[in-house]
Amino acid sequence: MTMMFLSKHRVFHVLLYITFIVGLCTPAAPNAANATPVVPLPRVSPPPQSMESNGASITLPKQAKLVFGMGADLTAVALVRETLENHGVRINDKAGNFEIYVGGPEETPESEGILAKLGREGPEALPADGYVLAIERSQGIKIVLSGKDATGTYYAALTMSQLIQRQGESVRLPAVYIRDYPNFPFRGGEESFYGPQWSWEDRYDQVDFLSEHKMNYFFYGPAEDDRTTGRAWRDLYPPEELEKFRRLVEYSRAKHVNFLYRIGPESPQIGGSALGICHARTADRDALIQRLEQMYSIGVRTFVISWDDVTETFTCEEDAQRYGSGPIALATAQAEVLNDIQERFFDVFPDVERGITIPSQYWLNEPTPYRSTFDELVTESMDFYWTGPHVMSLRWKSRSRMSLLRNRHSLVTDFLSSIIIRSTIITGIDYCSAR
C-alpha cells in the first residue's frame, strides 16, 4: 500500500496523510507605508489559507533584534536566526528599528501586544498548528511570528524562510499578513512497503522533508523489519538498535514530526511462514504490550496495530478452539486483542494518542461478515485505516463511504496523487481525485 513521491534527489515510497488544501491569496492592504516598490510575491508551499498583500516589499537592514520568550519554540527561533544570517542580517539586541517577535501569546507574550498595535488579529481563534505572520513597517520594521502553539510558530518560521529574497545587494521581505492553518490534523509520510529498508540517513532525510512541508507524522512500519511483522514481532529491539530509534524519535519531535510506529502481529502473507500471534494466548498479548511499552520508553506516542496483508488463518490450536474458523472468527479474535491492548496500554498512558488499527479488509465500501463483526466488537476508542472502495483507490465519488460508521475516525489513505484524508467518518467526498 504505497505511492511514489519524489523527495529532493531521492525517490521515496511515501504515504501522504493529507496534504494542505490549497488556500487562496486574497489581495488586501497591510500597513506598508514607505515600503519599496511593488514586486511579485514569492511562492509559498503549501499555500497559506489567507495572505494579504498590496505587492509592496520591505528592504531589510543589516541588523535585527530577535525577541522571544522563555516558552518559545527553540526550533522556530533557530530557523528564524538561520534564515536571517544566511541573507546577511545579523542579530543584535540593540537593533531597535528592526524587531522580530517569535512565539504566540503563550510563548512570547510581547507578540500579542505588537499585533494589537499593528491592528492585526492574533492566532487564538485558529485551529491547532495554525499561525499568524505579520511583516509590516510601523515605527521601524516589525515581524511577528505568532503560533496557536509551538508547531504553529515553527510553521510561521518556515513560511518566512520562503518569503525572504535577495535582490542584488538588498534583502527583502514582502509586506504581508498571513493567517494559516492545516485543514487536517494528520499529515505525513511513511516507510511502509515490501523491499529493502531505508538507511537511517534516509529516515532523517524523510523527517526533514516532512517538516519542511508542514507535515507532522512519520509512519514507520517497513515489512523487512521483522519486528514490525508476524515474523519476529515478539522479539524486543536490542539496546543498540533501540538507541537508534530513540535518536530518530527525538530528532523528529524537535522538527515537529510525530514518529508513528506500526506493528503487525498476524502471520504475514508475504515474506515467510513464521507463526503469527495466538490471539487467545495471554503470553502473546503480553508480548505485544511489551513491544508497545518498549517504544513508548523512547518517546513514541502514536501506534498502529495492523492486521493487513496476512494469511487470515489461525496458527494455533487455542484460537481454533476458542473462535472457530472463517472471517467472523478472525474479526472476533483480532477485536479481542485490540480491546485488551486498549485497556492495558492505551488507557494506562494518558499521553499516548488514540490507537489506530488496520483491518485485514482495509478497503471496500460494502459490509462483509468480517468488516461488520470487526466494527461491532472493536472499541470505539480506536481509529481505523481505510483505503477507499479499492485497495488502491484513485477516486471517490459522492456517496462513496465506509460501511463502518460508528463514532471513530477513519484513515483514508493511499494512492491519490494530490490529497489523502483523515477525518471523522466520511459521509461523502465529491470527486477527491488527482488534480
pLDDT of residue 271: 54
Query: Which pLDDT band holds residue 307 (cuts at 50, 70, 90)?
Result: very high
For the chain, percent of residues with pLDDT exceeding 90: 63
Grouping H, G, I as helix, E, B as strand and the rest as coil, residue 37 is strand
pLDDT of residue 1: 34
Grouping H, G, I as helix, E, B as strand and the rest as coil, residue 408 is coil
More confident residue, 402 or 434: 402
Average pLDDT over residues 119-143: 95
For residue range 316-357, what is the model confidence (pLDDT) as tens digits? 999 999 999 999 999 999 999 999 999 999 999 999 999 999
Which of the residue ranges 3-7, 63-67, 80-84 would you say has the lowest mean pLDDT?
Answer: 3-7
Grouping H, G, I as helix, E, B as strand and the rest as coil, residue 79 is helix
pLDDT of residue 288: 96
Query: Which pLDDT band holds residue 187 (cuts at 50, 70, 90)?
Result: confident
pLDDT of residue 269: 65
More confident residue, 35 or 390: 390
What residues contact residue 135 under an 8 Å CB cut-off, 6+ apart?
58, 141, 142, 143, 160, 163, 173, 174, 175, 176, 177
Query: Which pLDDT band holds residue 194 (cuts at 50, 70, 90)?
Result: confident
Average pLDDT over residues 237-241: 97
More confident residue, 237 or 20: 237
Q: Return the C-alpha torsion angle 346, 279, 269, 392, nearest 10.
A: -40
Which element (helix H / strand E) includes 286? helix 282-296
Which of the residue ranges 22-31, 230-239, 300-309, 344-353 would you say has the lowest mean pLDDT?
Answer: 22-31
pLDDT of residue 130: 98
Query: Do the beta carbons of residue 17 and residue 385 sit within 8 Å?
Result: no
Average pLDDT over residues 103-131: 96
For residue range 250-275, what is the model confidence (pLDDT) as tens digits? 999 999 999 999 999 987 765 555 67
pLDDT of residue 183: 87
Taking the C-alpha atoms of residue 315 and residue 338, their distance in angstroms, rounded to an integer, is 18
Q: Are strands 98-102 and 141-147 parallel, antiparallel or unpaired?
A: parallel
What residues contact residue 90 under an 8 Å CB cut-off, 6+ apart?
62, 63, 64, 84
Q: In degrees, to the nearest 5, what angle opens at C-alpha 230 toward C-alphas 224 and 231?
A: 60
pLDDT at 433 over 80: no
